[in-house]
Amino acid sequence: MDCVQVDHVDFHVDKTVTAPAATSPGVGVDVSFDVTYDPSSVGDCRSHVTLTSPLAGDYVFPLRATCTLPKPQVPLPTRRYSLECIPLTDCTNPNPSRLQFINASLVHNR
């Protein structure tokens, strides 16, 4: 395929896709390509990716993705006056982080 176009900034594809030649006339070949979804907002996103070939014409594929807010993973079990480690996930950083804190008993006096 000579050209690959996607009409939404949240979807990313390579600019070209290589397809092998057909072995005989009238018989197609399977071609695969990767589409990456990098949401810029919460909600549904719809788009199209178009593969263009000078011999075969245009192939248009609908794209649909949904981004939701992360679900809280609390409450976390802790022991009183103990050092706790909580793994943190940041989707923009592949290296996991850890938060350390000492769990002290909080008392509210009225």
Neighbours of 95 (CB within 10 A): 5
Q: Is residue 91 part of a domain?
A: no
d(CA 82, CA 76): 13
pLDDT in tens, the chain (110 residues): 567 888 899 999 888 888 777 788 777 778 888 899 988 888 999 999 998 888 778 889 999 999 988 777 667 666 777 776 666 666 666 565 555 555 544 443 44
Q: Is residue 55 part of a domain?
A: yes
Instruction: Report the number of distinct structural domains present in the chain.
Output: 1
Q: Is residue 33 part of a domain?
A: yes
Q: Is residue 51 part of a domain?
A: yes
Q: Is residue 22 part of a domain?
A: yes
Sign for the pseudo-dihedral over CA of 100, 104, 105, 108: negative
Which residues form the domain of 13?
3-67
Q: Is residue 42 part of a domain?
A: yes
Q: Is residue 87 part of a domain?
A: no
Q: Is residue 98 part of a domain?
A: no
